[in-house]
Amino acid sequence: MATHPGGLTAAARPAVVNPDGKPASGDVTAVSVRDLIRSFGPKGVLNGVDLDIAPGEFVALLGPSGCGKSTLLRALAGLDHDVRGSGVISVPERVSVVFQDSRLLPWDTVLGNVTLGLQEHDAEARARKALAEVGLAGREKSWPHELSGGEQQRVALARSLVREPQLLLADEPFGALDALTRIKMHGLLRDLVAAHRPAVLLVTHDVDEAIALADRIVVLDGGRVATIRTVSPEVGTAADAAGHENLRRELLTDLGVAAVSH
Amino acid sequence: MSAAPVLDRPAVEPHLDPTLATREDIRPAGRRLGPGRRRRLAWLLGPGALLALWTISSATGLLDPRILSEPWTVVATAGELLADGRLQENLAISAQRAGLGLFFGIVVGALLALLSGLSRVGEALIDGPVQIKRAIPGLALIPLLILWFGIDETMKVLTITLGVFVPIYLQTHAGLRGIDLRYVELAQTVGLSRAAFIRKVVLPGALPGFFLGLRFAVTGAWVSLVVVEQINATSGIGYMMELARTYGQTNIIVLGLAVYGILGLVSDGAVRLIERKALSWQRTLAG
Ligand SMILES: Nc1ncnc2c1ncn2[C@@H]1O[C@H](COP(=O)(O)OP(=O)(O)OP(=O)(O)O)[C@@H](O)[C@H]1O
Ligand SMILES: [Mg+2]
């Protein structure tokens, strides 16, 4: 069953995932959200959000600041027990969350943070493997405060992926990183997602990040899904430069920003 | 286009070079607001200065031995009492009382803090009574405890326990309530069970508060001990001092005070040592 107990958002039923983990056609979804409403006090934040994500699909969520991106993500993560609202959410059994801050327990080592909550007997071996995957082999015994910001975020990635999630929720995971590190992290995330094939919902405010990583870009506005745009591989890798520039312009218009060309 | 030449690596990595200490090391004089590096045995300086002051005042005759015995008399007295076994005997009794009281106080205080910190019902039931207990001086309870338990060991250990559990409770509870909600969310998202949550998040997060409480508690245990031993006892350091008072033996009284002082200092040092080891993940001003 769902990973999060209780609350308004307990999944009605876990979605069925294809054994080969490939994005499925038809009605198989990893995430399904129907008519989601969330409000803080008198203020409506989400006013009827509908969203489907296929298994293995990478969806980026864009939207102006304060439009409810984090609210939607927290609803999917089951972290909004006390928030008023309604709607039907269905998420897979194994969900991992990456936050904007790396959120490592300061009193546990890097290895302890990655194995947090794992019960399998081979948890430690798997955690070491995950740390090696994010390029941090040999740092297992370090304290979190001994790592750089980018390294801490890589540990957070290792912690989320070692659980082999069917859904990875990430709320501006690279927001606090410098531009160069962010580009490296994009490459890392792309490789990791290709290897583990979770469905991904990535909240970001960076249009280029969304284009570079996502299969589909959802723009949230006024508490609803305003537009959905598909990103073809050629556009995503900027092999189709004109298409890339075009999509960028469209997204910026969706976001209500006058497009500036590079 | 040619690539930049690759530099040969030096035979010795510069940071491993044994001559590093003798190399030039000129840095901008940045102002440092923290207290700087910790130095070993530095904690002995204050007590040592106090001892020196006492010795000098006694040696120069500034301090009348009838008011305060000289340090060497106290040392000689300690030697005599050790030789006839009275000091060890009384010390053992006192240490046992303080130890037992401390143990029960820590267990009770920490348990109550957990119960009250982790459940609303627990808080509603526990926090109020503890605050009331806190407002009542430990001394004021002794008459009642004597009526209930007589003057034997139970009463003494209980008095110490009652004094100890309050700071443990208060500080552990405050530490626990101060745990960042973000870590609680994290625990939820990685699917920790309630037991694992307590073990991995609550206990480590409350540990700094617990240790602060422990330092108050250890000192408090010795203070309560003095009180119970001087009121109603037939053994222990306090009794030894009380007896000395009736015979006007200032040297034994001062020896007792010195023993209490040393015990307090040593136990506080022990707690701080354990604290530093247990909280080595913390990066604070303490260093
Ligand atoms: N705990 C809360 N209590 C009250 N209001 C809240 C709370 N959390 C969010 N809000 C409000 O809900 C709205 C949506 O917040 P949310 O954090 O989802 O925005 P966001 O789209 O993630 O913005 P950003 O891009 O700046 O992170 C905001 O107006 C915010 O003020
Ligand atoms: Mg947000």
Q: Do B281 and A116 touch (CB under 8 A)?
A: no
Pairwise pLDDT comparison (A14 vs B129), residue with the higher score: B129
In this predicted structure, what is the pLDDT of residue A138?
92
Of the residues A40, A74, A225, which should be mutated to test ligand 1's pocket, given the most ligand atoms within 8 Å of the CB? A40
Q: Indicate whether residue A79 lines ligand 1 (CB < 6 A).
A: no
Residues A111, A127 contacting (CB under 8 angstroms): yes
Q: Indicate whether residue A66 lines ligand 1 (CB < 6 A).
A: yes
- CA-nearest residue, atom 30 of ligand 1: A66
The two structure tokens encoding residue B116: 């009250």
In this predicted structure, what is the pLDDT of residue B2?
55
> Per-residue pLDDT for A20 more than 60?
no
Domain contains B219 = yes
Pairwise pLDDT comparison (B168 vs A4), residue with the higher score: B168
> Per-residue pLDDT for A24 more than 90?
no
> Per-residue pLDDT for A21 more than 80?
no
> Per-residue pLDDT for A19 more than 70?
no
Of the residues A67, A73, A172, A209, which should be mutated to test ligand 1's pocket, given the most ligand atoms within 8 Å of the CB? A67
Chain A, nearest residue to B197 by Cα: A117
> Per-residue pLDDT for B228 more than 80?
yes
Phi, psi of A66 (to 5 degrees): 85, 10
Phi, psi of B118 (to 5 degrees): -105, -10
For residue B282, the chain A residues in CB contact (below 8 A) are 106-107
A24-43: average pLDDT: 82
> Per-residue pLDDT for B8 more than 70?
no
Domain contains B180 = yes
User: What percentage of chain B exceeds 70 in pLDDT?
Assistant: 94
Whole-number Å distance between alpha carbons of A245 and A251: 10
Q: Do B182 and A99 touch (CB under 8 A)?
A: yes
In this predicted structure, what is the pLDDT of residue B151?
81
Q: Do A107 and B196 touch (CB under 8 A)?
A: no
Instruction: For residue range B179-213, list pLDDT tens digits in order.
Output: 999 999 999 999 999 999 999 999 999 999 999 99
Which neighbouring-strand residues pair with A216? A59, A230
For residue A101, the chain B residues in CB contact (below 8 A) are 182
Whole-number Å distance between alpha carbons of B74 and B88: 16
**DSSP H or E segment with residue A95:** strand A95-98
Q: Do A108 and B281 touch (CB under 8 A)?
A: yes
Domain contains B167 = yes
Closest alpha carbon to B186 in A99, A120, A31: A99
The two structure tokens encoding residue A224: 């609803």
CA distance B275 to chain A (A): 13
Sheet arrangement for strand A31-40? A43-53, A31-40, A84-90
Q: Do B189 and A106 touch (CB under 8 A)?
A: no
Q: Which atom of ligand 1 is nearest to the CA of A205?
A: 25
> Using 50, 70 and 90 to split pLDDT, how confident is the model at B6?
low
B254-268: average pLDDT: 88
**DSSP H or E segment with residue A168:** strand A167-171
Cα-trace Rg, chain A = 18
Q: Is A10 on the interface with B (CB under 8 A)?
A: no
CATH number of the structural domain spanning residue B79: 1.10.3720.10
Average pLDDT, chain B: 87
By Cβ distance, the residue of B188, B196, B281 closest to A106 is B281
- CA-nearest residue, atom 6 of ligand 1: A40
Which stretches of chain B sit within 8 Å of chain A by CB?
182-183, 185-192, 196, 200-201, 204-205, 207, 279-283
Question: Count of alpha carbons within 13 Å of B171, Cβ hemisphere only?
Answer: 17
Domain contains B272 = yes
Q: What is the pTM of this model?
A: 0.78
Question: Count of alpha carbons within 13 Å of A76, Cβ hemisphere only?
Answer: 34
Instruction: For residue range A86-127, list pLDDT tens digits in order.
Output: 999 999 999 999 998 999 999 999 999 999 989 888 999 999
CA distance B104 to chain A (A): 27
Domain contains B105 = yes
**3 state SS of A226:** strand
Whole-number Å distance between alpha carbons of A26 and A157: 30
Q: Identify each DSSP E strand in B100-229 by its residue range.
A: none
B99-115: average pLDDT: 95
Q: Do B189 and A101 touch (CB under 8 A)?
A: no
Provide ipTM, 2 decimals.
0.82
Residues A138, A110 contacting (CB under 8 angstroms): no
A177-201: average pLDDT: 91
B59-82: average pLDDT: 88
CA distance A250 to chain B (A): 35
Residue B188's domain spans which residues? 69-278
Q: Is A108 on the interface with B (CB under 8 A)?
A: yes
Alpha-carbon torsion (B134, B135, B139, B144), positive or negative = negative
In this predicted structure, what is the pLDDT of residue A259?
53
Residue-by-residue DSSP string for A97-165: EE-SS----TTS-HHHHHHTT--STTHHHHHHHHHHHTT-TT-TT--GGGS-HHHHHHHHHHHHHTT--
CA distance B282 to chain A (A): 7
Chain B, nearest residue to A141 by Cα: B281
CA distance B219 to chain A (A): 27
Q: Do A107 and B205 touch (CB under 8 A)?
A: yes
Best of B120, B176, B190 to disrupt the A interface (most A CBs within 10 Å) is: B190
**DSSP H or E segment with residue B253:** helix B250-278
Size of interface A-B (CB pairs under 8 A): 55
Q: Indicate whether residue A115 lines ligand 1 (CB < 6 A).
A: no
**A67-71, A126-130, B91-95, B148-152, range with the lowest pLDDT:** B148-152
Whole-number Å distance between alpha carbons of B235 and B91: 9
- CA-nearest residue, atom 1 of ligand 1: A40
**Number of domains chain B is built from:** 1
Q: Give domain A2-94+165-254's CATH superfamily.
A: P-loop containing nucleotide triphosphate hydrolases (3.40.50.300)
Instruction: For residue range B32-46, list pLDDT tens digits in order.
Output: 787 777 777 887 888
